[in-house]
Structure 1
Amino acid sequence: MVDRMVSLSVGIMLSTSLLHALPEAFESKADPRSLFATLLGGLLAFFLLEKLAVLRHSHHHEGDGHHHAHGHDAREAGKSGWMILIGDGMHNFTDGILIAAAFLANPELGIVTGVAIIAHEIPQEIGDFIVLLNAGFSRLRAYVYNLLCSLMAVAGGLLGYFTLERAHGMVPYVLVFASSGFIYIAVSDLMPQMQRRATVKESVPQVLLIALGVGIVLFLTSGH
């Protein structure tokens, strides 16, 4: 199920950013050079953020031959769990701002942006839940903390709506930055996951689900 959602989210995220968010931004009165600079800066920013996450991630596992003091593994797992929560909360807060910007630009764009984020968040949240369980969190605590992190999107949406409504000129730049995130996640994270399963039997459903994702976005925006 998670693998299927990854393929579907690739189609939705790429078509949302390339067919709707970016054209919406470039059709505004904003300077195209500044928008392209924002796109470049966004791609590099997501690359650096991923690098920092990789550098901070602990690759130590039980039984890997390393000798540590008693309780070290539990402490390390707990730290990784809290880092997942902090990163997820910030990510959801940003998603809320992006959805608000999309709705301010165009209601249909807001809908497809929300769908794109949901399609990506479902497999990510499942993965985060599993990481929290492995980090020693009980099922209830992992569920509650994941829910609280998800609610950060509401806070980001409210802040984005009331802030960007007064600074409407920033909306195209937020849309471009959002698009850079969608493109980066799809191309550098999700697609490589799909390439690891390269048999014809596994590739055909992937291609069909990507096409379905594109079709969903086109259907939702058919009146635009």
Structure 2
Amino acid sequence: MMQGAFWGIIVSAMATGIGAIPVLFLKQVSTRMKDVLLGYASGIMIAATTFSLIPEALDSSNLFILSLGLLLGTFVLNVIESRTSGLDLESRKFNTKIDKKTLIIIIAITLHNLPEGLSVGVSYGSGQENLGGIIALAIGLQNAPEGFLVGLYLLNQKIPKLKALLIATLTGAVEIITAAIGYFLASYVHGLVPYGLSFAAGAMLFVIYKELIPDSQEGEEEQFPTYSFVLGLISMLFLIQHFG
């Protein structure tokens, strides 16, 4: 049981890094391609948030807790964005320069993954047969496009491909820590999971509305990312229906 939980947690967390692997093969991303990819990723993430995270939080709590978490997640990301507006994000040590928008994406994905890891760990620790595997698979499916999104933004910042892959992987690796906490303290932290999932949903909705969708509409041909958004939403709904 514990060995299965260990591998389920690792695979779910590492799905973020797996999703970022395609950035290794992207030589140059044109404006049109960037817009289409961002539109597709936005569709996937809005579907994952509204048809997976929110229902799961609502099923295990109530509308008040869900609303509180959504507002808190939005508020925290809003504060982070305002506090980083004048921040110098250049690191001489790593010869890396990241703009504010990319930093917000990285922070949002990382914060979003913390309660998701907790959810996976609690599911494995609950003792309910197959529940852990189902939740781990569902979270892993959400993590993959998030990893690609982080990698894409970093690649756009001229970050070396391997470094972009590493950073994207680390945003998902934080799940291992909270999943371990959730697994060993399942009976104590179970009640925190809906709060965490609601917070994660609020954080992601902020990023989708404030950053991803506007970025996908920067090009002259807005219809391509618009259709791509819908296709991304449909793709995620398909995965949720068959695996979620």
Q: TM-score scaled to structure 1, two decimals?
A: 0.70
The residue number in structure 1 matching 2:226 is 207
Deviates more, 1:94-103 or 1:172-181: 94-103
Residues 121-172 of structure 1 deviation map (CA, whole Å, 9 limit, x = unaligned): 3243233245355xxxxx4xx62x4344334245412112121232121111
Residues 211 and 31 (structure 1 numbering): CA distance in 2 closer, same or farther, change over 3 Å? closer
Shift of 1:82: 11
Gaps of 5+ in 1: 59-72, 134-138
Q: 1:51 to 1:115 in 2, by over 3 A?
A: farther
Instruction: Give CA deviations for 1:52-84 in whole Å, capped at 9, x if unaligned.
Output: 2222147xxxxxxxxxxxxxx996995745999
Query: Which of 8, 19, 44 is the equivalent residue of 2:40?
Result: 8
Give % identity: 18
Structure 2 residue runs without a partner (length 5+):
1-32, 124-130
Structure label with greater radius of gyration: 1
Which amino acid in 1 is paired with 2:154? D
Alignment partners' CA distance in 2, 1:110 and 1:80? 34
Change (3 A) 1:84 1:45: closer
Distance 2:223 2:100 in 1: 36
Query: Is 2:186 aligned against 1:169?
Result: no
Cα 1:79–1:153 shift into 2, 3 Å:
closer
Residue 208 of structure 1 aligns with an amino acid whose one-letter code is Y
- Correspondence for 1:33: 64
Q: Deviations over 1:3-41 (max 9, x none)?
A: 22100111111111112211111111x353233112111
* Change in CA separation of 1:179 and 1:203 when aligned onto 2, cut-off 3 Å: same
Matched residues in 1 for 2:214 and 2:239: separation? Answer: 27
TM-score (norm 2): 0.65
Question: Counterparts of 2:82 and 2:103 in 1: how far apart (Å)?
Answer: 16
Alignment correspondent of 1:51:
82
More displaced stretch, 115-124 vs 35-44: 115-124
Q: How does 1:38-187 map to 2 (within 5 A)?
A: 38-57=69-88, 78=95, 80=97, 93-103=110-120, 104=122, 110-131=136-157, 133=159, 139=160, 143=162, 145-153=163-171, 155-165=173-183, 166=185, 167-187=189-209
Distance 1:122 1:90, change over 3 A: same
Deviations along 1:164-216, one digit per CA (max 9) or x if unpaired, are 2321211111111111122111101011123333x5xx233222211211111
Instruction: Show the counterpart of 1:63.
Output: none
1:188 is aligned, of 192, 210, 233, to 210
**Deviation digits for residues 68-115 of structure 1 (CA, Å, limit 9, x no counterpart):** xxxxx9969957459999888765643542442454566556545434
- What secondary structure, in the 3-state scheme, does the structure 2 residue paired with 1:222 have? helix
- Following the alignment from structure 1 to structure 2, what is the Cα–Cα distance between the partners of residues 87 and 191? 14
- C-alpha change, 1:74 and 1:34, in structure 2 (3 Å) is closer
Q: Which amino acid aligns with 2:53?
A: A
1:146 aligned partner, one-letter code: A
CA distance in 1, matches of 2:67, 2:106: 28
- Structure 2 counterparts to residues 16-27 of structure 1, below 5 A: 16-27=48-59
Q: CA RMSD in A?
A: 3.6
